[in-house]
Amino acid sequence: MPRADSMTTAERRAASSLAAVFAFRMLGLFMVLPVLATYGQGLAGATPLLIGMAIGAYGLTQAFLQIPFGMLSDRIGRKPVIVGGLVLFALGGLLASQAETIYGVIAGRVLQGAGAIAAAVMALVADLTREQHRTKAMAMIGMSIGTSFAVAMVAGPVIAGLGGLTAVFQVTAGLAVLGLVLVLWVVPSPQQALRHREAGVVRAAFWPTLRNPELLRLNYGIAVLHAILMAVFIAVPLALQERAGLPPEEHWWVYLAALLVSFFAMVPFIIYAERQRQMKRVVLGAIMLLALVQPLFWLSVDSLGWLVTAVVLFFIGFNLLEATLPSLLSKLAPAGSKGTAMGVYSTCQFAGAALGGVLGGAVFGAFGLTGVFVCCALLALSWWVIGVTMGEPPYVTSYRLPLPLALVRDEALPRRILAVPGVAEAVVVAEEAAAYLKVDTQVLDREALDRVIDPA
């Protein structure tokens, strides 16, 4: 089992620098959300539908290219794929910054999304860290994503207030260049690219993952969550400006307050979900909150105080789901298929963002703010209806254990591992000389597992 030693200097450098690369890229993507609906109206040819397309356009190319780029990194190396992706992202930001029409911004956002490096970054983390520290390194990246979202919600309106959309996109390009500097001169180069089923897509696991009903529910949910996010960011900035009378350059404090309150409000629910093993109840409650907050948006559009309250409640539900769904996926994904399940999950997430931008823009153009909020409520309710049918997830943790070569071909090994108390699933992958396990840490007999893996 994982040892309790500390991360090496190289591991800490790899984890922190890759977390920063991820954060810079996501910061560039997120900064546009709170400002494009308001400032985009000044672009030539802008319509609600096209503004919605600009908001969600990055998700389309991201969804198509994320898994292929991850597989490409297995062939040509992680760093070339990451460098290429960051160059595309920077070029997309520069293209959008020079655009005078909404079509130019859409093209820039599409190009930004083509820099789909998430899978390659995760695979590089696996290459550069040992088994016992990989979860810690992945957690650092997860925290960097959450932090970048919070910073973007505040920075976007501030930067746009100073220099408009041009400045926002110029900053996103600059962040991509900073990421390039880190990848080329700070991130260590791996000695070899590992085939790691917890971090990468495995062809053999792809179709079983797509047919898994529990994972299908989860994939539908993450698509709906990000569709709602994009649609809300078409309606809420306009409501703040046009109905509540808050200038766009002052929207930052609304998002800052909402994110701070939502962060502290969601922590007790996350603890309750994990420690009391009530994940299903918490997830369904957060989905229902997303549905119920939509009528509040509609009723409060003319009152700044109530509108801010609705934004706070929305972010409580959104951030709670954004934090718990990856944990739910880890519990539901079969042993040895977590990387594949995460790849499909992320693809659905970005596809949902693309759909949400288009749908939100189209509905706003036809039915106004009310139509967007009704549409988001219906999406959330459809997810809740599907979510009710899921079972309580198994409360298990994924492990990858290197195996002695003498045990790799032992056909009885999976059976002996499964006989250890607390082990729910076990898959031995001979070509990796490793076993992938799903274990209940509360009842796992670690000493018995160690004896099976290392009889000596």
Q: Same CATH fold, 397-453 and 8-191?
A: no
Tracing tokens 């959330």 back to the chain, one arrives at 380
Q: How far is CA 317 from CA 157, 260, 420, in A?
A: 23, 13, 38
pLDDT of residue 431: 83
Nearest to 373 by CA among 274, 252, 241, 231: 231
**Per-residue model confidence as pLDDT tens digits over 416-453:** 999 999 999 998 888 888 889 999 988 888 888 888 88
pLDDT of residue 446: 87
The structure's pTM equals 0.93
**Contact present, 456 and 447 (Cβ < 8 Å):** no
Instruction: Count other C-beta atoms under 10 Å from residue 385's C-beta.
Output: 10
Higher pLDDT, 204 or 53: 53
Higher pLDDT, 157 or 130: 157
**Per-residue model confidence as pLDDT tens digits over 356-406:** 999 999 999 999 999 999 999 999 999 999 999 998 899 998 888 888 887
Indicate if the pLDDT at residue 455 is higher than 70. Answer: no
**Per-residue model confidence as pLDDT tens digits over 134-186:** 778 888 888 888 899 999 999 999 999 999 999 999 999 999 999 999 999 99
pLDDT of residue 184: 95
- Give Cβ neighbours of residue 272 (< 8 Å, ≥ 6 apart): 278, 282
Indicate if the pLDDT at residue 87 is higher than 70. Answer: yes
pLDDT of residue 193: 65
pLDDT, the chain, mean: 91
Indicate if the pLDDT at residue 191 is higher than 80. Answer: no
Pick the CATH number of 204-395 from 3.40.50.720, 1.10.286.10, 1.20.1250.20, 3.40.1390.10: 1.20.1250.20
* Whether CATH 2.40.50.140 fits 397-453: no
**Per-residue model confidence as pLDDT tens digits over 263-315:** 999 999 999 999 999 999 999 999 999 999 999 999 999 999 999 999 999 99
pLDDT of residue 1: 44
CATH fold, domain 8-191, is Growth Hormone; Chain: A; (1.20.1250)
**Per-residue model confidence as pLDDT tens digits over 201-213:** 788 788 888 899 9
Q: How confident is the model at residue 2 (pLDDT cuts 50, 70, 90)?
A: very low
pLDDT of residue 3: 47
- Every domain of the chain and the residues it spans: 8-191, 204-395, 397-453
Reduce the secondary structure of the chain to three states and give it as a string.
CCCCCCCCHHHHHHHHHHHHHHHHHHHHHHCCHHHHHHHHHHCECCCHHHHHHHHHHHHHHHHHHHHHHHHHHHHHCHHHHHHHHHHHHHHHHHHHHHCCEHHHHHHHHHHHHHCCCHHHHHHHHHHHCCHHHHHHHHHHHHHHHHHHHHHHHHHHHHHHHHHHHHHHHHHHHHHHHHHHHHHHHCCCCCCCCCCCCCCCCCHHHHHHHHHCHHHHHHHHHHHHHHHHHHHHHHHHHHHHHHHCCCCHHHCHHHHHHHHHHHHHHHHHHHHHHHHCCCHHHHHHHHHHHHHHHHHHHHHCCCCHHHHHHHHHHHHHHHHHHHHHHHHHHHHHCCCCCHHHHHHHHHHHHHHHHHHHHHHHHHHHHHHHHHHHHHHHHHHHHHHHHHHHCCCCCCCCEEEEEECCHHHHCCCCHHHHHHCCCCEEEEEEEHHHCEEEEEECCCCCCHHHHHHHHCCC
